[in-house]
A and B are shown apart, each in its own frame.
Chain A
Amino acid sequence: MALPAVAIYSFLYLYPAISNLLYSTQRWDGVTKAQFVGLHNFKYLATSDDLFHKIVANNFRFSFVVVILQTLFSLMFAIFLLKNTKANIFLRTLFFFPTILSSVSVGLIWTFLYNPNFGFINASLKAIGLHKLALNWLSDGRYSLYSIAIAQIWFHTGQMIVIYLAGLQQIPAELYEAADVDGATRWQQFRNITWPMALPTTAVVVAYTTIQTFRAFDLVYAMTQGGPMNSSDLIVTSIYNMAFGAYKFGYASAESVVLVVVVLVITWIQRRTLRVDYGSK
């Protein structure tokens, strides 16, 4: 009964993943005959491609910033909105809204907001006199990556809030009541009750967010296409450019393999640290 699933999955997901390994040992432009080059592509990636190193570093920085901020914000807002008041329910609905938009829409909307001349952000900053803060959000190499990170956080925080709410609502109210009786402050309650009991949820949020950041092709493509000067390029956009811009399919496959390894390693590390247990009761 599981056969159709296994069949499609193997053919269109596992088999291609493995083909990546095969292609990564070749040099191929898609038109002429492919050349077998062994591990040359990997060696080159590791030693002679500074741009790729920069891009990997970009991706790490991006993921780091997004994971930390998105987790913190969603936890914080979930705590704020824990009670089922009308206002809270309205706000939860509102905050969740960005999640349903397509990433292309989000990217294009934020490109407009970030426009240095008439975009809403800079126009407002200039209107209140903060000209110095009216930066070139997307066209300055120092900020482009972080500007996209902000858009990403805006995009998905609502989703994580809901996940946290589900987790927080399972914490028995008696624990808090008892703590109140004992005279514990809010902060102490958070540190000793909320945080530890929400740890499994945190693990899920962190894992989910991390995967999202390695997949953020759409946002980058819609907002900066990796520029300026590759300052906002991620591994996945580099793969795309290598294959469909520079016609180096073998090299791009090698980069894909690197991406898989990186993601697997990070996932493994997270599971170890946060002790996530998929699929067991």
Chain B
Amino acid sequence: MTAINLNESSVRELNEKLQSGSSGDQFSVNNTVGKHALSVGLTSEVNVVINGHVGYYCAGMNQQANIVINGNAGPGLAENMMSGEVRVTGNASQYAAATAHGGLLVIEGDASSRCGISMKGVNIVVGGNIGHMSAFMAQSGCLVVCGDAGDALGDSVYEAKIYVRGEVKSLGTDCIEKEMRDEHKKELKELLTQSNMSYKVEDFRRYGSARKLYNFDIDQVDEY
């Protein structure tokens, strides 16, 4: 286990060490005091434990690495992640997993607004609530919310799937509630298990695209 203290090392030194790690290496990062761009651009199956609150873009563009943040995360957590797993024990600020293509992001606390904005295949599981405009223009992947969802959920969603257990304050344009079929229940159960969230699949509802905005139709002009 390599410990890196941000009182002594710079963010550049931290990222260089983590980016050149090999599969199975263990790292712990301390004295984070809200610094930005920590543990970004990792490319191998290293294990990183970050102790403290982090600033913007922690775990940005993550590939393969396993990252745990014991604290809160600032905006853009795991943005554009490609694979691997990121878990935050506290809350995540806005834009969590923005445009991410793969991997799993688990937020044990709450996520702020625009969670999963423009997501492109990532799976996100939030133990608490999510803020407004979440899953905006979400293209693919799954967003699982164990708490409540804020205004305009899934506005302009494409094919991403949204599962919510609590209340949805309001739905965004072209986002509707959909039937939970066996394949959805299976998918949801897998995600809850993977993320260690012990909730029952039956308590969730599914939301997705009504697909009315896919090609321009003059009768939908009010939606624009």
Q: Do A and B share a complex? A: no
A positions within 8 Å CB-CB of B:
none
